[in-house]
């Protein structure tokens, strides 16, 4: 008989705002995915950008998750074999990864400013959060040019993407195809020294033996970059499932800054955790209405979720139930 591998999934919030219903949906689905296959659920705090991350938000996230009835097997407050579970405490592992990429000749300094990149209006659009794809302006600078520019500006560091087509089978989207050099060479360390999300998440997922990554559909186009980094660093690749985003009843995307949709605001209105879980279950199609339910009661139903939609819209019933 072959060795049985215990699946490992993670919920990895950034403590830069209040948890809203969309965040709660992701946390619930990660938890249900792992509990339905008797896997391990990990909580990881992604606080690389200390200018945005706040201890108060981290505390609220932990309280919100506990209130929802979502327990974790490993995490910042629990510990585990792969501690620490807070990215700001894992800098040594990112430095080792950068050194490995540097030794392979896969990094180069970039002196472009945001204004420089914003002026490239003719360039094809890359990742939605970054605007135009990087055209490789600094990819072939000579050593003398680099030395000269270093006297004026501290560079960021970019990963040199291989010229290959990326294809993978996603548990939510199906087969995904991305053209070679999608989005252009990307930053793995900012000029201020902050490590990029793309690098940190790849290093951490491998270090924590994550087998399954379930996250929102808005991150699907980060996957080609993470696959390229995994290959360059010779790290195992998890299975990806990108799920529909939860959007408001008017079609607008939920945001951390919208306090009315936050779990803290719902708790303050004395709405029960079971009512919130019931609404989330209705939104993703696990039940026809918003009947209150505990998270554990949804475990047998996880495999019935249809992830093929682009977004899950909150119904009027959810709005009424939660008095949004």
Query: From the centroid of its chain, how far is CA 303?
Result: 22
In the sheet that holds 107-110, the strands lie side by side as: 107-110, 156-159, 186-189
pLDDT at 128 over 90: no
| Per CATH, domain 8-88+244-322 is 3.40.50.620 | yes
Q: What is the pLDDT of residue 119?
A: 42
Kindly report, residue by residue over 280-300, the tens digit of the pLDDT.
999 999 999 999 999 999 999
Q: What is the pLDDT of residue 162?
A: 86
The CA-atom distances, in angstroms, between 317 and each of 100, 109, 262, 290 are 52, 52, 18, 7
pLDDT at 118 over 70: no
Q: What is the pLDDT of residue 5?
A: 81
| Token pair 């946390």: residue | 27
Residue range(s) occupied by CATH 3.40.50.620 in the chain: 8-88+244-322
What's the token pair of residue 25?
Answer: 């949906």
pLDDT at 15 over 80: yes
| Per CATH, domain 91-199 is 3.40.50.720 | no
Is the pTM above the cut of 0.75?
Answer: yes
Q: What is the pLDDT of residue 322?
A: 86
Kindly report, residue by residue over 219-270, the tens digit of the pLDDT.
999 999 999 999 999 999 999 999 999 988 777 777 655 556 789 999 999 9
What's the token pair of residue 189?
Answer: 């360390």
What's the mean per-residue pLDDT of the chain?
90
pLDDT at 60 over 60: yes
SS3 state at 10? strand
Written as one string, the DSSP assignment of 247-312 is E-TTSPBP-TT-GGGBHHHHHHTT--HHHHHHHHHHHTTSSSS-----GGGGGGGGGG----SSEE
């Amino acid at each position: 008989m072959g060795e049985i591998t215990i699946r490992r999934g993670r919920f990895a919030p950034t403590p830069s705002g209040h948890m809203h219903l969309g965040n709660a949906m992701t946390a619930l689905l990660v938890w249900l995915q792992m509990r339905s296959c008797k896997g391990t659920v990990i909580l990881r705090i992604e606080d690389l950008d200390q200018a945005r991350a706040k201890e108060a938000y981290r505390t609220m996230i932990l309280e919100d998750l506990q209130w929802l009835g979502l327990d974790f097997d490993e995490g910042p407050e629990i510990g585990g074999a792969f501690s620490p579970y807070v990215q700001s405490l894992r800098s040594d592992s990112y430095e080792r990864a950068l050194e490995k990429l540097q030794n392979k000749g896969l990094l180069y300094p970039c002196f472009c400013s945001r204004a420089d990149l914003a002026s490239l209006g003719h360039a094809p659009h890359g990742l939605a959060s970054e605007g135009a794809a990087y055209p490789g302006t600094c990819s072939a600078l000579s050593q003398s040019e680099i030395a000269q520019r270093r006297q004026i500006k501290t560079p960021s560091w970019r990963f040199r993407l291989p010229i290959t087509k990326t294809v993978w089978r996603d548990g939510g989207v199906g087969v995904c195809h991305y053209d070679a050099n999608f989005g252009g060479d990307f930053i793995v360390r900012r000029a201020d020294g902050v490590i990029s999300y793309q690098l940190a998440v790849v290093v951490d997922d491998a270090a924590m033996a994550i087998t399954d990554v379930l996250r929102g559909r808005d991150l699907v186009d980060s996957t080609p970059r993470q696959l390229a980094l995994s290959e360059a660093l010779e790290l195992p690749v998890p299975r990806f499932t990108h799920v529909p985003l939860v959007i408001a009843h008017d079609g607008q995307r939920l945001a951390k800054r919208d306090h009315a949709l936050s779990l803290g605001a719902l708790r303050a209105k004395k709405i029960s955790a079971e009512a919130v879980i019931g609404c989330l279950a209705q939104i993703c199609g696990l039940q026809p209405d918003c009947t209150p339910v505990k998270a554990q009661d949804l475990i047998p139903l996880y495999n019935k979720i249809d992830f093929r939609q682009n977004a899950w819209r909150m119904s009027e019933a959810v709005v009424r139930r939660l008095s949004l």
